[in-house]
Chains A and B, each alone.
Chain A
Amino acid sequence: MDNKGFFGNWGGAYIPEILHQTFQELHVEYQRAKNDPAFWQEYLHLMRTYSCRPTPLTYAENLSNHFGGARIFIKREDLNHTGAHKANNVMGQGLLVKRMGKKRVIAETGAGQHGMATATMAAKFGFDCTIYMGEVDVRRQRPNVFWMEKMGATVVPVKDGSRTLKDAINEAFRDWVTNIDSTHYVFGTACGPAPFPEMVTWFQSIISEETKEQIKELHGKLPARIYACVGGGSNAMGSFYHYLDTDTELVGVEAGGHGIDSGMHASRLCGTDASPGVAQGYKTMFLQNEDGQMLETHSVAAGLDYVGVSPILSDLWEKKQVRFEAATDKEVMAALDLTMKLEGIIPALESSHAFVQAFKEAPTIAKDEAIIINMSGRGDKDIFTIAHAYDDPSWKEFIISRAAEYSSKS
């Protein structure tokens, strides 16, 4: 990051004047934490004792044999507390909030995993907490809404625009400019105005810090490739970070939705629908029309259903240091199904995108090479969406009878 917050041509901090002072303070606090070795130690201690770090790196023997190519390893962010990589960022920012002396946190959420992690952190640290979530996402991620509320957070359904992640971000900014003195906005991904992209990446880099040790122990050398799904880009940046200066090939997988040529997807760096733009406080490749109005995006995975992407990834894309691919909704369901059946592991719909691309390439990679799939989260949260996609008869029967039970009582 340069001193204006840019990574090559991308990033910056396009913020209203009212936020200027708060960002100055955030920059100072972030630099102070970064330069203080005790801060990272405190962070590691918290993640080891409160969350489940280091998360395991699992050798997926059955999947490896099935594809008959590279040895497939799965980084188990699903076993992190709250069930996704999101907690890595949130707990880190929580420690910063304590240092800054603020008492209230807000966050946007798409899949609900970031909101869930933020509500958890707020409960633990004693902060007030408000979560903004697009109305569409509230519906498709209902279990997470339930848990956020139970942990004491207020969940506000956002009814503007496309009623998904980008609209939740706008609404969180509106809250922030109103309550800056008391409130910190826990940005959930490696996007937004500087220093968020770099700061979120810093906290998420714990993933690749761990895998670098783990893969040497389990496989004796670095992996040939690493696959991560890309929504805003935080799990991708975290799982790539410590490999940026190695020979490992890094592959980001975006949401292909109904197909990259269908107009119904969220592929910004893979494909040709996106163009450079500035919104939500930063410059990156956005899915937008000729006039600069953001387009509707589509993905079966709420956490990938977003118009922008990390400016750091746009830079790495431009410099060809990361390759980008897309996985369609259909492919995602098939990869999820296979992973459950062969490994007894349930990846989130977001994470399943990374599995799709790894499965496509595994057979073409030599057997003595390893690949790592970053499994950003667990699929339990998606039970309604996945059951619906399976059109699962016994699940439907259960929902119908439970609904009848509730309606007869009311």
Chain B
Amino acid sequence: MQLEQILRQRKEKKDILLMTHIVLGYPSFEANREIVRQMVENGVDCIEMQIPFSEPMADGPVILKANQDSLANGTTVAQCIAFGAEMAATYDIPFLFMTYYNILFKHGEDRFFTEAKEANIKGLIIPDLPPEMGENFFRLAKENEIAPILIFAPTSTQERMATLDSMGQGFIYCVARRGVTGKKSSFGDDFNEYLARCRNATRMPIAVGFGIQDKEDIEALKGRADMAVIGSQTIRLVDEQGPEAVGPFIQGLR
């Protein structure tokens, strides 16, 4: 089954879905394993696994540091794909890879897609690959039935959203605000207006990410978005309290 359909089915039973984020190899693959287990057991609907890159342009300090530390530990792309395969074989939720374009480009796009498909990865989020630059990428995504997930931003015009909607699959990732990952977002009138614009621009499910940190944030998204994305917050939590803290945190979100 493809990503959009899986998410729609899960959404039938919940008022909002939860997607979480991990940086592979940070603090270690051991810890990643435990974190994913706790996430899935506490009802997370989808997990994006970031393959670390040395130049993570769109990420804020928390995820940036995680990328660097993971690489300093010696994390390789091959290990990341193998870990993805292991998770997808172990748990019955969709797993995505998030990374920057150079990781695919250097690995060989064909080879990356083949390996990701073998690993049963359902979608890819590549924040520095706009549709104009990704002819080959979008062709391979279609051939391999892996959803290319595109991003709406508050600066996207209606026309631009229409273009992105026509190229993307799975769901649309709506970035809550300007800036990089990590800082808290505020959900005022401007935000609601933006989210309404997003909703109108696509028939796919919409996820909202960047700066979502607690139950209150998620409450505010119910009825407006299909999925909430928790990114930097779980990394912060693991840094401060260890992997054991993830389960109770996720539990408390809904």
Chain A residues within 8 Å of B, Cβ to Cβ: 4, 12-22, 160-161, 166, 170, 173-174, 177-181, 275-281, 286, 288, 290-294
Interface centre among B102, B107, B127 (most CB of A within 10 A): B102
Stretch of B1-9, B54-62, B113-121 with 4 or more beta carbons under 8 angstroms from chain A? B54-62
**B152 to A17, Cβ gap below 8 A?**
yes
Is B35 an interface residue when CB atoms closer than 8 A count as contact? no
Q: Which B163-217 residues sit within 8 Å CB-CB of chain A?
A: 164, 175, 178-180
Pick the contact of A4: B65, B132, B160 (CB < 8 A): B132
**B107 to A174, Cβ gap below 8 A?**
no
Q: How far is the CA of A292 from the CA of B132 in the complex (A)?
A: 22
**B106 to A292, Cβ gap below 8 A?**
yes
Pick the contact of B175: A18, A173, A276 (CB < 8 A): A18
Q: Which residues of A contact B100 (CB under 8 A)?
A: 279
Q: Which residues of A contact B156 (CB under 8 A)?
A: 17, 20-21
Is B95 an interface residue when CB atoms closer than 8 A count as contact? no
Give 5 A-B pairs besides A21-B157, A21-B160, A170-B56 with Cβ atoms closer than 8 angstroms.
Answer: A13-B132, A20-B130, A174-B58, A291-B103, A294-B54
Smallest Cβ distance from B72 to chain A, in angstroms? 11
Dominant SS among interface residues on chain A: mixed
Chain B residues within 8 Å of A, Cβ to Cβ: 53-58, 60, 64-65, 68, 71, 76-77, 100-103, 105-107, 127-130, 132-133, 150-157, 160, 164, 175, 178-180
Q: How far is the CA of A277 from the CA of B101 in the complex (A)?
A: 9
**B130 to A15, Cβ gap below 8 A?**
yes
Q: Which residues of A contact B71 (CB under 8 A)?
A: 293
**A15 to B128, Cβ gap below 8 A?**
yes
A179/B102 contact (C-beta < 8 A), A13-B130, A16-B128, A20-B155 known = no
**A17 to B130, Cβ gap below 8 A?**
yes
Pick the contact of A13: B57, B68, B133, B155 (CB < 8 A): B133
Q: Which residues of B contact A280 (CB under 8 A)?
A: 55, 57
**B55 to A20, Cβ gap below 8 A?**
no
Q: Which residues of A contact B54 (CB under 8 A)?
A: 161, 293-294
Q: Which residues of A contact B103 (CB under 8 A)?
A: 291-292
**A293 to B53, Cβ gap below 8 A?**
yes
With CB as the reference atom, state the residue of chain A lying closest to B103. A292
Q: How far is the CA of A16 from the CA of B129 in the complex (A)?
A: 7
A21/B155 contact (C-beta < 8 A), A15-B130, A174-B60, A177-B179 known = yes
Smallest Cβ distance from B43 to chain A, in angstroms? 29
Smallest Cβ distance from A339 to chain B, in angstroms? 36
- 26 A–B pairs (Cβ distance < 8 Å), ordered by A: A12-B133, A13-B130, A15-B128, A15-B130, A16-B57, A16-B153, A17-B153, A17-B156, A17-B164, A18-B153, A18-B175, A18-B178, A22-B155, A160-B65, A160-B68, A177-B180, A180-B155, A277-B102, A277-B105, A277-B106, A288-B102, A291-B77, A292-B77, A292-B105, A292-B107, A294-B55
Smallest Cβ distance from A183 to chain B, in angstroms? 11
Q: How far is the CA of A173 from the CA of B179 in the complex (A)?
A: 9
Smallest Cβ distance from A310 to chain B, in angstroms? 17
Interface centre among B57, B64, B105, B155 (most CB of A within 10 A): B57
With CB as the reference atom, state the residue of chain B lying closest to A22. B155
Q: How far is the CA of A22 from the CA of B152 in the complex (A)?
A: 14
**A292 to B53, Cβ gap below 8 A?**
yes
A174/B180 contact (C-beta < 8 A), A20-B155, A278-B105, A293-B71 known = yes
